[in-house]
Structure 1
């Protein structure tokens, strides 16, 4: 289902950009109509109906505009791809921290193990079942997931050693390690909310679409032949594909290119069993 949705959205971006380029070319041909040829002058052999000076100006302006447009798209694409990868890497590091807290609580034993392990299970379940959707739709974190994390933190904070084994484990800073890991979880949650809150507004989309229009305008000096239209459509298709990925990378919590919390799902599938050798 996700693949079908992504394919449809990509097709809309590609088709829409191609139509935009062809429409701009057709409108530009009307706005910048070539001067009428003197009576009896045969048509140019290469099909051009604009004078050479206009074609030269269009070439210079078109190349410079295309270069600026390409640089802007490349910078934004690289930025959003980097953020998309950071979300995935952060989720993996958070899953490792959760697993460490879960297993360290079991090693600590006593009255600490059950409440902390239960809170970690609830936390992961709330993130997978509810929070990921909230990040994509409402751009906020789940209150229940926060409460589960706070339960684990409070339990570890209030833990007191009761047996000689617990005293020994505390001496090697097991409790402090769990508190540090719970702090890592909170840090990644705040970062995830910030990434979800970020998004592209007209500050990006207006220059991006305007750039595509301005790149196409100098090409209006070329006659509207079948070959020209095919080349223009290919330009629009590629620009639409890049814009599709920019939009997709800007929010990994929703479509397109919805990135599920796979690291958390694997924790649930394994039911927090002991780590495999």
Structure 2
């Protein structure tokens, strides 16, 4: 489903639920006095909101910076693939042409098949990519005497691939999500008990606060995985592919 549509549904749904709670509470205490002193309530509201904002800001910065780390990992992997292709000097034919072909096939596999899965946060293990790396390793080991740099280059590619896939599966963790969700509830709870004389200002305040909290949590959830939502393009692999001469 479209991200904008999902986000809009969450905003509307949470805001509607919050407004319904406000309406019920106003009917329940229509003729009663405020449950809490306004000064105490304002202090609690400010403190809870500030603490939640601090926690959410740290989490947001962490998940946002994850994209930079993932982007660096793609360039490291693409550079390692290029080194594999350049390490064929000294290899006899047809192994030399085969290593170059495997490198190009690997880059195409990453761009054409693995990248869409990463963007969709797929749990597939990308078997063909691993098989291509294994084939490179076997070929480099067989020609280690003629092309001394080949085994080390394939090993670098393997490590870079592992790092990229590990980053693709990175998440902020259940404990962090519990802190965010519990903090959101505690930060928004005081606004239901403000003793507004008129309903409209309280409804507007409640809808605004609920929408902002929902928007922040939804954004964190959407960018939690660095490769999701197309945040990191496959540019590094595409550029490297154009530099490798086909056999």
| TM-score under structure 2 length normalisation | 0.80
CA contact (8 A) 2:79 2:240 kept: no
CA contact (8 A) 1:127 1:145 kept: yes
CA contact (8 A) 1:22 1:229 kept: yes
Q: Provide the rounded CA distance (Å) in 2 between the counterparts of 1:97 and 1:155.
A: 16
CA separation of 1:140 and 1:97: change in aligned 2, threshold 3 A: same
How many pairs are equivalent?
242
Aligned match of 2:162? 190
CA separation of 1:244 and 1:266: change in aligned 2, threshold 3 A: farther
Q: Provide the rounded CA distance (Å) in 2 between the counterparts of 1:239 and 1:252.
A: 22
CA separation of 1:273 and 1:243: change in aligned 2, threshold 3 A: farther
Correspondence for 1:62 among 11, 36, 45: 45
Cα displacement (A) at 1:100: 2.4
Cα displacement (A) at 1:79: 1.5
Superposed CA RMSD: 3.0
Unaligned runs of 5+ in 1: 37-48, 163-169
Larger Rg: 1
Aligned match of 2:70? 87
Cα displacement (A) at 1:103: 2.9
User: 1:103-182, aligned counterparts within 5 Å?
Assistant: 103-105=86-88, 107-111=89-93, 112-135=95-118, 136-159=120-143, 175-176=148-149, 178-182=150-154
Instruction: Provide, for residues 65-123 of structure 1, a one-character-per-residue CA deviation record: whole Å limited to 9, x for no partner.
Output: 11221122112111111222211110111112212222332x44533421111111121
Aligned match of 2:217? 243
Aligned match of 1:226? 200
CA contact (8 A) 1:14 1:240 kept: yes
Instruction: Provide, for residues 39-60 of structure 1, a one-character-per-residue CA deviation record: whole Å limited to 9, x for no partner.
Output: xxxxxxxxxx637x62122112
| TM-score under structure 1 length normalisation | 0.73
Instruction: Provide, for residues 18-44 of structure 1, a one-character-per-residue CA deviation record: whole Å limited to 9, x for no partner.
Output: 33443444455456x2663xxxxxxxx
CA separation of 1:210 and 1:161: change in aligned 2, threshold 3 A: closer
CA separation of 1:202 and 1:272: change in aligned 2, threshold 3 A: same
Aligned match of 1:45? none
Cα displacement (A) at 1:265: 3.3
CA separation of 1:146 and 1:89: change in aligned 2, threshold 3 A: same
Unaligned runs of 5+ in 2: none
CA contact (8 A) 1:24 1:217 kept: no
